[in-house]
Structure 1
Amino acid sequence: MALTRTEGVVIRAFALGDTSRIVVVYTRDLGLIKLVAKGARKAPSRFGFALEPLSFSRFVLYYKPDRDLQLVSQAETIEAMGSSIGSLERLAHAEAALELIDRLVWGEEPHAELYDLLRATLGQLERAPIGALAAVTLAYQLQVASLLGYRPRLDRCASCGQPISPRRVFSPVRGGMLCDRCAALEAGSILLSADALAGLSLLLTRPVEEAGQFAEVQRAGELLKAVEAFYRHHFQRFQGLRSLEMLKSLRSGEEQ
């Protein structure tokens, strides 16, 4: 067992006994790890905000490969996004970004590009106009899927490679657009407007930092439906994003 230094984003945390906490952290060099922070629940805590969800923190660990729980020696906050995010909408979208990592990433398998995408997305969700948050989250979802090997095919038929149908048929099962022939054979497909397809392509291919520049994505409802159906088919552990569902419920209640 060696002392190891790493940095990461706190995904979630929960109590262990009366005084300690278990913290799930996504790191660039160690992947998704679970930490035990002894005494973290004692007041005052020597860890401050370092163990809180949405914190970007620096850790010193007693690290042993293949052990389920790593012991925290020290933790220092670099940035506590959760304490300064400023609005319910931003908080919900940021928590949704964490949910996706928690659902889709398995164990200590480092993925530098995925980690960098998460950090960039959280930064955009903190800075982008409120009206652009949905665009940032959609771009993040599409690019996470791409990095995990499930990139939606939008330029040619995802089934046979032929030109796509003028009706713009998206198949969650096949993972992209379909030609007329394949669309006739495929149940459960979704028809997209021209604006929705253009938005899907834009958010998939442009850096997530640019998504925050878009005050509104055309046909966002269509895109959300298509992306969620795609995720539900290809990622068994994905059951929707609870943070965004709760935000939608709260907003619906306020309008009544």
Structure 2
Amino acid sequence: MSEIIKTRAIVLRKLDYGDTSKIAQFYTEDFGKISAIIKGGRTPKSKIGLIVDTFNLLQIIIYRKETRDVQIISDAELLQYYSNIKEDFERLKYASAVIELLLNLTIENDHNQRLFNGTERILELLNTPDKNPKFYFAKYFLFFIKEIGYEFPVNRCSLCKKELINGMQVYYNYDNGILCSECSKDRLIHFEFTKELFKLLKCLNTKINNIQYTEDDLNKIIQLLEKFIKYHIQEFKGLKSLELS
């Protein structure tokens, strides 16, 4: 039996279907990632077809049936357009990386309220002119990894559980995680943190935003997180959006 559901949804992707319709993927507040068809969505008179565009935050009404892979949208209302993201290349690049993560690393119909809220928040921040998109994407990336079950721990040594504080020498091994100097002995080191870089990583994992950093250090952290996900999820081939220059 179908049920009529109203939910907020972030548009992840759209494609043409048949002669007049569209199929889109959404990350929704109540059901996680879903696919849905907009019948007649390619016709000039389709209000829904016009507003179903990547990044847009919508309120959608769907005829939902659990046994159906592709749901049906009956109506939609535009809640946020995020014009600054769409008009600025750097903001667009990092917003596209957010969309890539949701498309490639979440599963259909897996409800996660925190992930929806966090994604709505990152799009708001990326849309804000005085916010550095790379900095906030790095924070979101750490948050996202935790939400899909692959937390990147930063507060304690993965082996001896010693608290890792600013100023300590810290290392990283793909098999063991973050290590203190003692536990790193006789182990292969894949990444060595400078004291400044580790301090930045710890701050990115908190609500603190007023910190000093370099663009190069942000790049190193984002690249490390990409490699971390590649190691744990072999199907993940990296963020194509971040390769754009």
Query: Could you tell me the TM-score, scaled by structure 2's length?
Result: 0.89
- Taking the aligned partners of 1:114 and 1:87, their CA distance within structure 2 comes to 25
Structure 1 CA distance, aligned partners of 2:190 and 2:87?
39
Q: Deviation above 3 Å: which 4+ runs of structure 1?
A: 82-85, 162-167, 213-218
Q: Secondary structure at the match of 2:158?
A: coil
Give the alignment partner of residue 234 of structure 1, picking from 228, 232, 236.
232
The 8 Å contact of residues 85 and 92 in structure 2, kept in 1 or not, is answered as no
- By how many angstroms is 1:28 displaced? 1.2
Bigger helix fraction: 1
* Residues 145-192 of structure 1, C-alpha deviations (whole Å, 9 max, x = no match): 1122222222221133245694320223333x2133442343352011
Structure 1: give runs of 5+ residues left out of the alignment. 249-256
Residue 187 of structure 2 is aligned to residue 189 of structure 1: no
1:74 alignment partner AA: D
Q: Deviations over 1:125-146 (max 9, x none)?
A: 010536x211111100001111
Task: State whether residues 173 and 234 of structure 1, in contact with CA within 8 Å, keep that contact through their aligned partners in structure 2.
Answer: no
Q: What is the match of residue 86 of structure 2?
A: 85
CA contact (8 A) 2:85 2:95 kept: no
State the one-letter code of the partner of 1:173: D
Residue equivalent to 2:203 = 202
Task: Supply the AA of the counterpart residue of 2:119.
Answer: L
Superimposed CA distance per residue, residues 165-224 of structure 1 (whole angstroms, 9 cap, x where no aligned partner): 94320223333x213344234335201111110111111122xxx64x568546223212
CA distance in 2, matches of 1:56, 1:84: 13
CA distance in 1, matches of 2:173, 2:222: 14
CA distance in 1, matches of 2:116, 2:238: 21
Tell me the residue number matched to 1:161. Answer: 161
SS in 1 for 2:48: coil
User: Could you say what secondary structure the match of 2:237 adopts?
Assistant: coil
CA contact (8 A) 2:97 2:242 kept: yes
SS at match of 2:231: helix
Alignment RMSD: 2.3
TM-score normalised per structure 1: 0.85
Q: Percent identity?
A: 25
Give the 3-state SS of the residue equivalent to 2:227 in structure 1: helix
Secondary structure of the residue that 2:46 maps to in structure 1?
Answer: coil
Q: Distance in 2 between matches of 1:42 and 1:174?
A: 54
